[in-house]
A and B are shown apart, each in its own frame.
Chain A
Amino acid sequence: MDFGRSERGGGRKRIPSAIKILIAGGFGAGKTTLVGAVSETTPLRTEETLTNRSVGVDDISGVEAKATTTVAMDFGRITIKDQYVLYLFGTPGQERFWFVWDELALGALGAVVLADTRKLADCFPSVDFFERRGTPFVVAVNCFEGARQYALDEVRMALGIAPSIPVILCDARKRDSGKEVLINLVQHAMLTRGKRPRPENVTS
């Protein structure tokens, strides 16, 4: 069909702004499930080759050795009023691939760290990474059945994260729950990075 194309001659089509959000967490934490639950379509998959530029230096030549790793990522899309398109990337959680996240995190609005309370330690590397990099993130505790019910405060303590970082419960399979997680993240990112005109008369 040439409908769209023939229209293009005159006014150029408006392209929305693209936004990236990362969904991180350990193996089987529910990353792909969350991406699928909130996205318009079933998760797509792409392969990206990433470079670890910091991987040691050749002693003799002094030339920086470059190692590349290919990672497969699941991702999905949410279109917001033809104005924004939000892309959610389920990022691989292996610790030794931390440099992979570095390239992926570039330009991201923020990240959701999915925690599975049965294997809470699995999300430590992601938490460490986003903390160090200064990427705004929230921790979403995925409620698998039969999992030990942790209080959110316990999770927060175990993760050793700042009180300002939101820790919330979620069910990665449910769209509304996933939406709530994303809203929490964007609110948190706004507080962290946003420039807001400060209220003039703050009560002292």
Chain B
Amino acid sequence: MRSPEEFNEDRWLDEEAGPIVRPYVMTRGRTEPTRGKFDLISLVVATRTPSPVEIGLGPEHLTILRLCDDFLSVAEIAARMDLPAGTIRVLLGDLLDRGFIDVQEPHPETELDDDCFYQAVIDGLRSL
């Protein structure tokens, strides 16, 4: 039997194997991120390196942080890790919560009204 104090938010204990982080289910059954919206094209960048014994981060969290050494979209993270976008969002929510990532949400549609923006994109495409 486990005593209550062996439980806490970030650390799950197993009687025999000792501390195990993120058993079986990467998202602990969650389908929505605790923080953040995460559009498919939200850009994510890692802001700090976790300590090797960071409690509560699973291997998938660490993979995301490695991938996001340079910025990457949610869609790209999902594709590179071969996981559904929904799963990635949950993991990103954890990382955002703990201050490991910066996220830049795309501009809302209603703000796509600046001619300079369009012109810059057109010029950029032309010069590719």
Instruction: List the interface of chain A (C-beta within 8 A of B).
Output: 1-2, 4-5, 8, 12-13, 15-20, 44-49, 70, 73, 75, 77-78, 80-81, 83-87, 89, 106-109, 179, 182-183, 186-187, 189-190, 193-196
A-B contact count (CB 8 A): 126
B76 proximity list for chain A (CB < 8 A): 44, 77
B48 proximity list for chain A (CB < 8 A): 8
Task: Please judge, given known A-B contacts A49-B86, A86-B121, whether A15 and B114 are in contact too, CB under 8 Å.
Answer: no
Per-position binary interface string of chain B over residues 37-49, scored 1 when its CB falls under 8 Å from any chain A CB and 0 otherwise: 0011111011111
Q: Which range contains the number of B residues in contact with the other chain? A: 35 or more
Whether B121 pairs with A80 at a CB distance below 8 angstroms is yes
- Given contacts A20-B40, A81-B124, list 9 more A-B pairs with CB under 8 A: A8-B48, A18-B73, A19-B106, A44-B75, A44-B76, A80-B128, A179-B128, A186-B125, A195-B113
Main secondary structure of the interface of B (DSSP, over half): mixed
Whether A46 pairs with B79 at a CB distance below 8 angstroms is yes
Residue of A20, A75, A84 near B124 (CB, 8 A) is: A84
Instruction: List the A residue with the shortest CB-CB distance to B39.
Output: A107
Whether A5 pairs with B121 at a CB distance below 8 angstroms is no
Instruction: List the interface of chain B (C-beta within 8 A of A).
Output: 39-43, 45-49, 69-71, 73, 75-76, 78-80, 84-86, 102, 104, 106-109, 112-115, 118-122, 124-128
Instruction: List the A residue with the shortest CB-CB distance to B119.
Output: A190
B126 proximity list for chain A (CB < 8 A): 179, 183
Whether A186 pairs with B122 at a CB distance below 8 angstroms is yes
Residue of A5, A48, A183 near B40 (CB, 8 A) is: A48
Whether B84 pairs with A48 at a CB distance below 8 angstroms is yes
Whether B120 pairs with A20 at a CB distance below 8 angstroms is no
Residue of B84, B118, B127 near A186 (CB, 8 A) is: B118
Whether A19 pairs with B41 at a CB distance below 8 angstroms is yes
Whether B125 pairs with A179 at a CB distance below 8 angstroms is yes
Whether B47 pairs with A8 at a CB distance below 8 angstroms is yes
Whether B119 pairs with A107 at a CB distance below 8 angstroms is no
Whether A87 pairs with B84 at a CB distance below 8 angstroms is no
B115 proximity list for chain A (CB < 8 A): 190, 194-196
Whether A17 pairs with B106 at a CB distance below 8 angstroms is yes
Q: Determine how close the nearest CB of chain B comes to the CB of A166; give it in whole angstroms.
A: 14
Whether B107 pairs with A107 at a CB distance below 8 angstroms is yes
Whether B41 pairs with A15 at a CB distance below 8 angstroms is no
